[in-house]
Structure 1
């Protein structure tokens, strides 16, 4: 009976370690997907500027459907969310906080601010 309790305890410990690791992997994959989406958005802005003689689009919505398959909206990471900020003069795209004005202060799963993406 004691041997069975030891085996069940060891299995419980291993399961708890695996579940914590699995949660971290899921968080990092969400952040990686956000970075990929952001790269696609930046590429679309530059493609549009190349086709219009170096003029960036006035809004990100102008990129849909020609350069993007869906309209850009709010962003969602593993540990934060907010609004996508866009400057039509410079073509700069950044992840802003919920206020839509300042870069996002939330930290991703590796401790890097989303505003630095």
Structure 2
């Protein structure tokens, strides 16, 4: 497979169930190792890039969601342990879920886990 994605563009990988979307994304994001071929980002092999760097340039949204039995605030903060409340709220705004969160009975202090439906997660 050959795939070229223009720099600084948002690209969605879509397809039918079982077509390899998740496999492709896990390889691109460096979650999985591979033995043959090469995956390059900006001309540099994925294996030569740090996971920290890959996490800053690739967003992977898995179809199976998991939230810890913690507050919404705590679940968002998992991505950056030292994040301030303002940073967490800004992240939620950028993700488009701030309005939903503040409408919950306890807002950002709402305990997540199994209390939210799959779509709400």
Task: Output the TM-score relative to the length of structure 2.
Answer: 0.20
Identify the structure with the greater strand proportion. Answer: 1
Which structure would you say has the larger RCO, counting Cα contacts within 8 Å and 6 or more residues apart? 2
Task: Output the TM-score relative to the length of structure 1.
Answer: 0.21
